[in-house]
Amino acid sequence: MSSSSRRLPPRYAAFVMPFVLSILMSLIVSGVSTLKSLGVNPAFLSVWPMAWFLSWLVAFPTLLMVLPLVRRIVSLVVEPAPR
């Protein structure tokens, strides 16, 4: 089985990119926020997973909704790549 057969077709990129981005961003932001609230202590590791999950539940649909607007704004600010 080749590695290319295990990859999703290109049409899924519009869904997979915000999915991965929302996981990473919400993980980092919830970690920083939880650490700031609780400090470095054993409670941090028990609170952070739920804080991350709740953040991700908001982040993923938000990214799906705002990404078209962000792309339009970026296209107004950034020159298109030469062909």
pLDDT per position as a tens digit, 52-77: 999 999 999 999 999 999 999 999 99
Half-sphere exposure at residue 15, Cβ-oriented, CA atoms within 13 angstroms: 5
Instruction: Output the pLDDT for position 2.
Output: 57
Average pLDDT over residues 73-83: 93
Give the pLDDT band of residue 4 (cuts 50, 70, 90): low
Q: What is the per-residue pLDDT across 13-62, written as a single tens digit (0 to 9) for each? A: 999 999 999 999 999 999 999 999 999 999 999 999 999 999 999 999 99
Model-level pTM? 0.80
